[in-house]
Amino acid sequence: MQTDPNWSNFFYEAESNKIYLLDFGATRQYSRKFVDIYINIIKAASTGNRESIVGNSIKLGFLTGYDTKAMIDAHVEAVTVLGGPCGVDEMFDFGRQDITKKIENVVPVMLKHRLSPPPEETYSLHRKLSGAFLLCAKLKSRVNVKSLYDPVFARYEYGLPDREYHLDEKS
């Protein structure tokens, strides 16, 4: 994943309607174990499956298993709000969303009740995701997010071994 959400790191080709990454200096690879669990959290958020959100959040290290009810509730609320657009089969209006305000409301609870820091990998991942989100908000994008994520969930293969990627690979 490219972890620097600087717009100058991307090139838009209008003819093909594709965006190309130009700067590989800030890329990051995540372990398959991390991705396997993280994608389960997103899927659980998209379907509102609280039990799966909590269980996978403990496995990944977002929660410890000894958290207060307030922390668990705030975490589940944040995850559900962020993953919600993945479960709704309609256009999500990034320009008119209130996700940012909803997250601002639960952050003080999480800061007060968190027993351990989030998984280290999430700092770079969430930086990238928030950059993409803010870009979509600035552009007032309307996107059927579910139509983008459903094929990813359907094709995803769990438990594959980690592998190294090289810039000269075609895949």
Annotated active-site positions, please?
A: 4
108 vs 21: CA distance, rounded Å:
36
End-to-end CA distance of the chain: 14
48 vs 64: CA distance, rounded Å:
21
The secondary element (H helix, E strand) that includes residue 93 is strand 92-93
Which backbone phi and psi does 11 adopt, to 5 degrees? -125, 130
Q: Which residues of 11-49 are buried (b: 16+ CB within 10 A; e: fewer)?
A: eeeeeeeeeeeeeeeeeeeeeeebbbbbbbbbbbbbeeb
Residues belonging to the chain: 171
